[in-house]
Amino acid sequence: MIVETAPAKINLALHVRARRDDGYHEIETLFAFLRDGDELRLTPGPASFAIEGSFGAALAAEGDNLVTRAAAGFARAFGVPNEGAFTLDKNLPVASGIGGGSADAAAALRALARRHGIAIDDPRLFACADALGSDVPACLLGRSALGQGRGEQLEPLGGLTDMPVLLVNPGVAVSTGAVFAAWDGVDRGAIGGGDLLERALLGRNDLEAPARSIAPVIGEALALLGDTKGTALVRMSGSGATCFALYEHPDDRSAAADAVRRAQPGWWCLESTLA
């Protein structure tokens, strides 16, 4: 059995620069990854896919999935049979701005690369990832990076490893397409310089306003996190609705998680650290 973690992704900053003729948007974003997320297992056998875990039911009705698409793309790219039984333990909420599906696809590519002796930095593997979605190359890289273009042009960055982080999702799924469609089209400028945290603090998430117009509860999640002690950064991730806070000390993160759970017992919370 090959086991791969599919870590949650957060966008420390996300600047939308322009709409493109191909239907995508030109962006600049600071990717960071947690130590926790979904888990994907690959065992020998005919091609199959099963889903379990806390959020498995949200994907169980899908006839297709990014994991199965990743397996098919890998087989075509490397000329190997499309086989192997995948089981996904779905711990991350769906359509939540933390790259769950993209991380699952990247985990599938890593698992297949291990099985077939393919180097993780093989350009063909990143081509497979790029064909699956804009966030998949970053999830395949799996470390902090500046993303440009659609997000697939990556510049690895250092800093913030082991920093405590708290994710909060208020229980609403937000369509990425709908959020991008609601962006006002204003280019508010590039991500600045400095170390990773400085760049994040000087940045913003240009999708927050359109996401909040679709799901106002995002504002409640940000306000609740903003009221907790010891935060270094509070922001919405991706196109929402998950919000996050970075903390200087693990005790502050734990106290914040307790406060969120008391105030909103139905919301999803994850205490973790940056990888």
* 182-189: long-range pairs with CB below 8 Å, 24+: 182/210, 182/211, 182/213, 182/214, 183/16, 183/25, 183/207, 183/210, 184/209, 184/210, 185/19, 187/16, 187/17, 187/18, 188/15, 189/15
Could you give the residue numbers annotated as active site?
Answer: 9, 135
Q: Beta-strand (E) ranges in the chain?
A: 2-19, 25-43, 48-52, 85-89, 145-149, 153-156, 164-169, 231-236, 243-247, 268-273
Q: With CA atoms as reference, report the closest residue to 84 among 99, 74, 94, 93.
A: 74
Tokens 């950064």 appear where? 233
Q: Is 196 helix (H, G, I), strand (E, B) or coil?
A: helix
**Could you tell me if 109 and 126 are in contact, meaning their C-beta atoms sit under 8 angstroms apart?**
no
Q: With CA atoms as reference, report the closest residue to 136 among 126, 146, 144.
A: 126
**Could you tell me if 42 and 82 are in contact, meaning their C-beta atoms sit under 8 angstroms apart?**
no
Give the angle subtended at the CA of 91 by the CAs of 85 and 97, to the nearest 5°. Answer: 110
Cis, peptide link before residue 241, omega less than 30° from 0 = yes
How far is it, in rounded angstroms, from Cα 147 to Cα 155?
Answer: 7
Torsional class of 149: left (φ above 0), alpha (ψ -120 to 50), beta (otherwise): left
